[in-house]
Amino acid sequence: MSEELIYLSDDELRDLMQAKLLKAGLMEDHAKEVARHLVYADSRGVHSHGSVRVEYYAERIAKGGTTIDPDFHFEKTGASTGVFHADNAIGHVASRKALDYAIDMAKETGVGIVGVSQMGHSGMLSYYVDLAAQEDLVALAVCQSDPMAVPFGGTEPFFGTNPIAFSAPTNEDRPIIFDMATTVQAWGKILDARSKNNDIPPTWAVDENGEPTTDPHKVRGLLPISGPKGYGLMMMVDVLSGSLLGLPFGKHVSSMYADLSSGRNLGQLFILINPSYFTDLDTFKENLSQMIEELHDNKPATGFDQVYYPGELSEIRYANHLETGIPIPEGIHDYLTSEVVHFNKYDQADAFAEK
């Protein structure tokens, strides 16, 4: 049976999460950025990357696995390239700062490519590419994660969910945004299903025997999208955001839960392109807006009421949540409003264990 939902405004949810992260030990400006990011996810219906993550972050911060006063350093390696050394800060903050360097270079030289080295979990990639699109830039972001997906034809997890996000500006209020895990679903979706006691489709994951499961509590491996195609994409992401930055790859990427007193050393890569270096910017945006209109005019298939452009459903959910409030499971709300920093349930846990 699904847990009761509590509806909160953007500000209410942001304040609760920020307060909890501050109580865990995060600096105020860092807590603000993380809370802003998590509200972005929850308000767009991507609850796997929203408030469900706060307790995990709080426990890692409290136990020293997140550098709360990091020594950030940007190493410019070329006219359009650089590495942002994150000192195992919380990933949302490190990635946001690294993105600014990529934006500046893309505006100056036409392209900005910045890797983020040695960071913690960075949340929802569409948050970053959305910001880049608002600067009239085309953006691609990739990020490695710890091994949770079985390779095509295999039975043991090797790569992570290794997400990819893309955005492009239009003449509309919102850009085109595409954000996906290279698994059928992100691990956070499993966590969200667990928190709500919901079943999952049998195409998402496998149990300890490698068999499809609908029980989120029995998941022991995630499946790549479209078999060998998703498998290839997750390897590509791992190379671009891990090996390219001299960081661990594949099954050697640090566990999210194995030791919350140590940093994650994760990698992420931003590739930003300035359309004005390739074509007329206004024409580019107008063409993409026309693309959206023509997609909307495309005859919908049976069972669909309309063809939507990538990211549009998230924006529709966001608009709805502005009116109704953001739905949060009662258990998460109880935690956020409590005096407890964390319940000591993540440290040393197996990646797929109950939490």
Residues designated as active site: 121
DSSP 116-155: EEEE-----HHHHHHHHHTTT-EEEEEE---S-BPPTT-S
Determine if residue 154 is left, alpha or beta; phi over 0 gives left, psi from -120 to 50 gives alpha, anything else beta: beta
Tokens 């608002």, residue?
134
220 neighbors 311 (Cβ within 8 angstroms): no
- Segment (H or E) for 81: strand 81-85
Give CA–CA dist 86/119, Å, rounded: 5
46 neighbors 177 (Cβ within 8 angstroms): no
39 neighbors 127 (Cβ within 8 angstroms): no
Task: Give strand pairing partners of 177.
Answer: 167
Give CA–CA dist 153/160, Å, rounded: 16
In order of 82, 147, 239, 267, the CA distances from 243 in angstroms are 15, 15, 5, 9
Q: Provide the terminal-to-terminal Cα distance of the chain, rounded to the nearest Å.
A: 18
For the purposes of burial, counting CB atoms within 10 Å of the CB of 227, is it exposed (0-12), middle (13-18) or buried (19 or more)? exposed
User: Helix (H, G, I), strand (E, B), or coil: what is residue 259?
Assistant: coil
